[in-house]
Chains A and B, each alone.
Chain A
């Protein structure tokens, strides 16, 4: 047999990465379990309520029901066993299966995150192009400051400020929540209110849902916008210094055509890879934004769960976060060499 082809190397590389996933996920689950069970707080109060804490019978019955009277290793094995059958446990707080809680709330967070990604990517690429084509002049500096501000603002505070300005004072954007009050949500098809409204052909409903998305998505996307603009600027400047650009210029191609047709295209590779990574990070970054905007998604679910020491829910959200992060990384690692053949696989 001759030396391995690029496809074979790629295949082995992917196989190795995929094979390590279950082990990493087990690690994530175990860590979440250890944190939630080995620390001093006792969830029993949140299960039976403060009032019943003195009643030993109720406490014992609740402990038996939720399996909290078992030794920890047994609890752990039961938990892992249940996970393998797709059972994430039952929430102490909502008394519903955690998987159905999550399924109900995930679309809200996904819709918000995707919108934030779109805003971040488009805004970031635009700013990056402006920066690179006017390097070290005023627009470049403005965009640099804008990028740094994006990563310096406390999301929960920015949310408050923008809500106060655009909703309370100017009244041009809607307030918190996914829809205005008294507006009935669309029939549940995808769980994305904007898409479901379109499927119903209900344009006012679509615009209502869309308007509610704008502010929280912008706040979530701002940081990403900064990152992408810096990235696009740096890689465009790199490209502009390369030989092929000189050749193209020598051929007499116009500057704008050069930028659009060649430089920008080559500079977007790293952007694609960072989007996967950002998606994983943002999905969970929704915690603060969802709290400020009363957004009924995974983030606010996580906050409620931690406040009430709802172990099954906390563990499930951690598992989801870890899984999304790992998968996003995996996709990024696979996409990078696929998009850019110059990247070496090792």
Chain B
């Protein structure tokens, strides 16, 4: 099943069961996951200095197995797989972060407006969100990406189109419960405008659980970006984006090192994200509050 469906399932589970809180901030799970992510962040910044070869140039014999010179071998065009994997982090990770960021902004804004103003505005926004969520995410993203044409930017737009309703729903729920609190009453009583009340007194209080969710989703987004690229709807050759590299590896099935490196890289990121999210969820106990 898709990773996206999986996220949705985890949400459904979280909503219906009480999680057992048993760990604090400094548990090994969060630390290890954080270290892995920090290492990848370093790779994103420092790829040009630590990669031994140009990721786009033919620097060795074609399809050669891992050796002392080419640590992870070369692909069908003689490009160094190790260097490409390092550079791939620069393609895959920033796109995922940007997609989450844009979905957060759009989703939170629309969700806050829906929850705060209610009535027709609420109904309209939430019906659109419902309908969008009725689409299987990968399918909707495929349709959007196909229509826009392949490319990482369009893949990003496709993902935002699929992902914003999740945050819209979350924010709406948060805003609806917070707007009944006394400090909001007070803000209204002293004559603050409705927008000021929303942005100064309600939204800041809704942020934490939404951010934790976004952390958990980042891993899924990395997978979604790569899936689109793998289907030929995201990054295009010669980009070293991880999904595109795996497509390249699938074409050279009997040279497993080509697909192994980007795959392991991606798994290390998504696993770290999920472990981090899982750990944070225990710390904040967010799911129980939804």
Contact = CB atoms under 8 A, between A and B. Distances in A.
Interface of A: 24, 27-28, 31-32, 35-36, 39-41, 116, 120, 136, 148-157, 160-161, 163-164, 168, 220-221, 223-224, 226-227, 230-231, 234-235, 237-238, 270, 274, 277-278, 281-285, 287-288, 291-292, 302-303, 306-307, 309, 314, 317-318, 321-322, 325-326
Interface in B1-59: 1-10, 12-13, 16-20, 22
Contact of A152 (B230, B254, B271): B271
B139 A317 contact: yes
A139 B209 CA distance: 30
- Please classify the interface of chain A as helix (H, G, I), strand (E, B), loop, or mixed, using the class held by over half of its residues: helix
Given A151-B10, A223-B3, A303 B142 contact: yes
B134 A285 contact: no
A40 B132 CA distance: 21
B249 A160 contact: yes
Interface residues of B, number: 64
Interface in B212-270: 219, 223, 226-227, 230-233, 243, 246, 249-250, 253-254, 256, 259-260, 262-263, 266-267, 270
B148 interface: yes
B3 A292 contact: no
A188 B201 CA distance: 64
15 contacts: A31-B131, A35-B143, A152-B270, A152-B271, A154-B226, A154-B266, A154-B267, A157-B262, A221-B1, A234-B13, A274-B13, A281-B1, A281-B2, A285-B4, A326-B134
B147 A39 contact: yes
A36 B144 CA distance: 8
A220 B140 CA distance: 19
B143 A285 contact: no
Given A235-B17, A237-B20, 10 more contacts: A27-B127, A27-B128, A154-B267, A227-B9, A277-B8, A281-B9, A283-B136, A284-B5, A284-B138, A309-B146
Given A160-B259, A234-B17, A278 B1 contact: yes
A155 B227 CA distance: 9
Contacts of B142: 287, 302-303, 306
B273 to A, nearest CB: 8
B139 A321 contact: yes
B146 to A, nearest CB: 4
Q: Which 9 A-B pairs have the closest CB atoms?
A: A281-B5, A284-B136, A39-B147, A285-B2, A306-B146, A27-B131, A157-B263, A285-B1, A152-B270
A32 to B, nearest CB: 7
B259 A157 contact: yes
Contact of B135 (A28, A152, A288): A28
B89 to A, nearest CB: 15
Contacts of A149: 271
Nearest to B3: A151
A224 B13 CA distance: 11
Contacts of A270: 13, 16-17
B122 interface: no
Contacts of A314: 143, 146
- Please classify the interface of chain B as helix (H, G, I), strand (E, B), loop, or mixed, using the class held by over half of its residues: helix
B263 A152 contact: no
B116 interface: no
Contact of B139 (A39, A40, A152, A318): A318
Contacts of B1: 116, 120, 155, 220-221, 223-224, 278, 281-282, 285
A261 B290 CA distance: 32
A322 B135 contact: yes
A235 B18 CA distance: 8
Contacts of A307: 146, 232
B12 A277 contact: yes
Contact of A35 (B2, B5, B147, B270): B147
Given A153-B267, A277-B9, A41 B138 contact: no
Contacts of A220: 1
A307 B127 CA distance: 29
B185 interface: no
A282 to B, nearest CB: 4
A154 B267 CA distance: 7
A318 B140 contact: yes
B275 interface: yes
Given A151-B3, A154-B266, A234-B18, A318 B135 contact: yes
A163 B9 CA distance: 27
A152 B267 contact: yes
Most B Cβ at <10 Å: residue of A151, A160, A326: A151
